[in-house]
Structure 1
């Protein structure tokens, strides 16, 4: 959910699950919940309208929640196809908390050092402007002094702007390239970054297991997820999975096509040979993905941190030390000749 969503709305489904599991009257539970909201908000008005619909009694709880936009079409389909309303809402809550994006993990080891590199080149451009003014003054005082300043050959605008452009391009390429492939082209990302596949698998197999445990068939799970899975790039994957299931073919071929890690495809292949239930397979797979993600992510972050911080340190130290030397030299000569 968005960070700007009404907090009472964010907690509504959790509250409903708790009350329904305890055997509370649904309508009475919602009335008590509405009484906690002191302001006349848009959410409270929707909630009161839902309570009125419950009083009429023509529709089931899930239909009323969908009508008043507490459940979207995909979430509604999950609840309707579950064995009971509580199991369905629990599944929706699990789905809402799914997030396999690793951009937060990249901030410190990748983007902060790259930003430091960008500012290093930008600072060089600013200093070159100051250096030009100092050189004009020194040439007036003594034209021969300039050759003794020891100005590095790379201290020119062409190099500075090229370095700035390249560092900005690399930063933008990694940031936007990751966001795009992670959401729309996961198969391409899995080919070069297996940890992302484990990160996605933690949620994907957990969601599948939850749907199967809620009484939804594997084929129907795949059809539902092919329409509304939160990661658009995996919707075609679920569509192909549904086709394969309907044709009674091997599931592992679809996973291989989308570049899932060997350990995942091998586990699926083995389970198909031993005719293990889909529910047991998905449970074993999300446990495998949990374990391998935790093991891999720390190692990957360590590699990123070492590589990108090393680059940032080298660029900053080289440019910074040369700038400091020139500042001292120009100051010394200006002091001597003025």
Structure 2
């Protein structure tokens, strides 16, 4: 769902669940909802189409919602495989806010100081243009003046452009590298960044627990998630999980293959030995991930902030102080000669 989605569409499923739980007539509830929309929007046209299909009575509610794109294929499969429509829609609503992306946590400790470094080198390039003009002007008055200005050896275009290029490259690598691995190759990320595994686990195990609680078997849940899980990089993981369940093999093998933290794989090994129910296992695991994520993310953000802000401060202070000294020097010589 896009950021600028119709607010009436965003609230439709919440409204439906509330009405269904209160025993309201579904068609009548949707008619009342449509009357609140004063403009003839695309959403209202789709909603009226759903109401007409409901009047015909040939399809179930979930099939009509899927036909008119109020449920995507993944959400539809969840509702169809749940014990009842209300539980299925509640399950869909619980997943709509699932997001384990940590980019927001990285803005202040990583990307802001990296932006400062980029603008510092860019500012140095701009200043070198001014410095060249000042030096050329002063040389006309005194050919030997340059040696008295105290221009640092690194004040060259080669170093300035290299610093700018390297800082932009590192920033882009961190940004796009994280986006790619977080979505497409989470196993790579888990190997070096365990906090991401706990962040993903908070949602993944909640989703599995919700599906099990809604009456969907673990094998069926894994098959559904292997096709439509919101993070494409974990779909092969669920496929492997489904195959292991089908062959009655140990599940911890799949978690080890995808580099999940030892605390998770050990918990799964223990639960398989004690034959704990899958519902209890997933509940225990999302609670573990909640705890470990909260502890790890605070420590990680502190580390990032210390390292990147320290580098930004060093670069800015060194270049900035040298620029200020040169500005004073050139101004002093200009004053003397004039």
TM-score by length of 1: 0.99
How far, CA to CA, are the matches of 1:106 and 1:243 in structure 2?
36
Q: Secondary structure at the match of 1:39?
A: coil
Hey, what does 1:199 align to over in structure 2? Answer: 199
Q: Secondary structure at the match of 1:143?
A: coil
How far, CA to CA, are the matches of 1:232 and 1:73 in structure 2?
15
Deviates more, 1:204-213 or 1:48-57: 48-57
Hey, what does 1:106 align to over in structure 2? Answer: 106
Q: Give a deviation string over 1:50-102, Cα, whole Å, max 9, x none.
A: 11111111111000001111011111111000000011111111121110000
Structure 1 residue 217, shift from structure 2 partner: 0.4
Q: Secondary structure at the match of 1:154?
A: coil
Is 1:91–2:91 an aligned residue pair? yes
Hey, what does 1:167 align to over in structure 2? Answer: 167
Q: Give a deviation string over 1:21-43, Cα, whole Å, max 9, x none.
A: 11111111111111110111000
Structure 1 residue 4, shift from structure 2 partner: 1.5
Is 1:296–2:314 an aligned residue pair? no
Hey, what does 2:248 align to over in structure 1? Answer: 248
The 5 A counterparts of 1:203-222 are: 203-222=203-222
The 5 A counterparts of 1:1-338 are: 1-338=1-338
How far, CA to CA, are the matches of 1:297 and 1:24 in structure 2?
44
Q: Which runs of 4+ in 1 moved over 4 A?
A: none
How far, CA to CA, are the matches of 1:301 and 1:2 in structure 2?
29
Structure 1 residue 182, shift from structure 2 partner: 0.3
How far, CA to CA, are the matches of 1:152 and 1:87 in structure 2?
70
Q: Give a deviation string over 1:90-136, Cα, whole Å, max 9, x none.
A: 11111211100000100000000000000000000000000000000
How far, CA to CA, are the matches of 2:273 and 2:148 in structure 1?
78
How far, CA to CA, are the matches of 1:329 and 1:78 in structure 2?
72
How far, CA to CA, are the matches of 2:67 and 2:118 in structure 1?
50
How far, CA to CA, are the matches of 2:290 and 2:18 in structure 1?
27
How far, CA to CA, are the matches of 1:293 and 1:16 in structure 2?
34
How far, CA to CA, are the matches of 1:21 and 1:298 in structure 2?
40
Q: Give a deviation string over 1:192-243, Cα, whole Å, max 9, x none.
A: 0000000000000000000000000000000000001011000000000000
For structure 1, the residue ranges without an aligned partner over 5 or more in a row are none
How far, CA to CA, are the matches of 1:20 and 1:271 in structure 2?
37
How far, CA to CA, are the matches of 2:138 and 2:117 in structure 1?
30
How far, CA to CA, are the matches of 1:90 and 1:260 in structure 2?
29
Deviates more, 1:165-174 or 1:139-148: 139-148
Q: Secondary structure at the match of 2:144?
A: helix
Deviates more, 1:86-95 or 1:114-123: 86-95
TM-score by length of 2: 0.99
Q: Give a deviation string over 1:285-337, Cα, whole Å, max 9, x none.
A: 00110111111111100110111000000000000000000000001101110
Q: Secondary structure at the match of 2:145?
A: helix
